[in-house]
Amino acid sequence: MRIVTLNVNGIRAAARRGFFAWLIQQDFDVICLQEIKALPEQLTDPIFYPLGYQSYFFPAEKKGYSGVALYTRYTPTNVIKGLGWDLADKEGRYIEAEFGDLSVVSLYLPSGTSSVERQACKYQFMDFFNEHLQRIIKSKRHYVLCGDWNIAHTKNDLKNCE
C-alpha cells in the first residue's frame, strides 16, 4: 500500500495550484491531508472527488481553519472522525481509516506559535494524544500515523527562523 501525507495549507488553494492534477498522475493508495481549511459543503466541485478515490473529510467547525482528510482507493472497514475530545475535534485534528487490521491516520497537531494560550493547547493535545498512543499500542492493530506534527527538531527546521 502506497501512502502519502501532505499539509495542503487549504485544499481549495491546493486545487488551484494543480494538486489534483498531480495526484491523479501518482500511484498512491491512501492520501492523508492536513490543514484542508474547508467544510464539505465548500467542496462541491468534482475536482475534490477524483475518480477512483473515496474521500473522507473531518473539518474544523470554524470556516477556513485546520481540518484533515483522507483519500483512498480501498473501501475502509471503518472511518473514525475525531478523538472524542472537544479540543481536538472542534478543530478537525484527527481522522482514521481502518482497513482490516491496519489503520491509517491523518493527524494535524496544533501549532503553539501564535500565542502562549495556543502553546498551552498544544501541550494539552500532546498529553491527550500520548494517552491515545498508549491505547493504540495496547490494541495490537497496525498503524500508519501520518501528519503535520508541528514539532521542529532544530531551529533550522523552522520557517522564517533567524
Q: pLDDT value at position 118?
A: 85
For the question of residue 86 being annotated catalytic, the response is no
Q: Tell whether 137 is covered by a domain.
A: yes
- Residue environment code for 103-113, b if the CB has 16+ CB neighbours within 10 A, otherwise e: bbbbbbbbbbe
- Mean pLDDT for each 10-residue chunk of the chain (162 residues)? 97 98 95 97 97 97 96 98 96 98 97 84 94 95 94 65 58
Q: Tell whether 129 is covered by a domain.
A: yes
Q: pLDDT value at position 112?
A: 75
Q: Tell whether 30 is covered by a domain.
A: yes
Q: pLDDT value at position 52?
A: 96
Q: Tell whether 14 is covered by a domain.
A: yes
Residue in 55, 86, 76 with CA at minimum distance from that of residue 1: 76
DSSP string computed for 36-62: ----GGG--SGGGS-TT-EEEEE--SS
Structural domain count of the chain: 1
Q: pLDDT value at position 162?
A: 57
Q: pLDDT value at position 160?
A: 60
Q: pLDDT value at position 150?
A: 82
Q: pLDDT value at position 63?
A: 92
Q: Tell whether 162 is covered by a domain.
A: no
Q: Which three cell numbers stand for residue 139?
A: 490494541
Strand order in the sheet with 3-7: 3-7, 30-34, 68-72, 54-58
CATH number reported for the structural domain that contains residue 121 in this entry = 3.60.10.10
Whether the Cβ atoms of residue 14 and residue 50 lie closer than 8 Å to each other: no
Question: Pick the catalytic residue: 45, 89, 148, 157?
Answer: 148
Q: Tell whether 80 is covered by a domain.
A: yes
| Spatial CB neighbours of 161, under 8 Å, sequence gap ≥ 6 | 155
Q: Tell whether 57 is covered by a domain.
A: yes
- Structural domain containing residue 22: 3-157
Whether the Cβ atoms of residue 3 and residue 99 lie closer than 8 Å to each other: no
Q: Could you give the CA distance from residue 126 to residue 139 in angstroms, rounded to a whole number? A: 20
Q: Tell whether 122 is covered by a domain.
A: yes
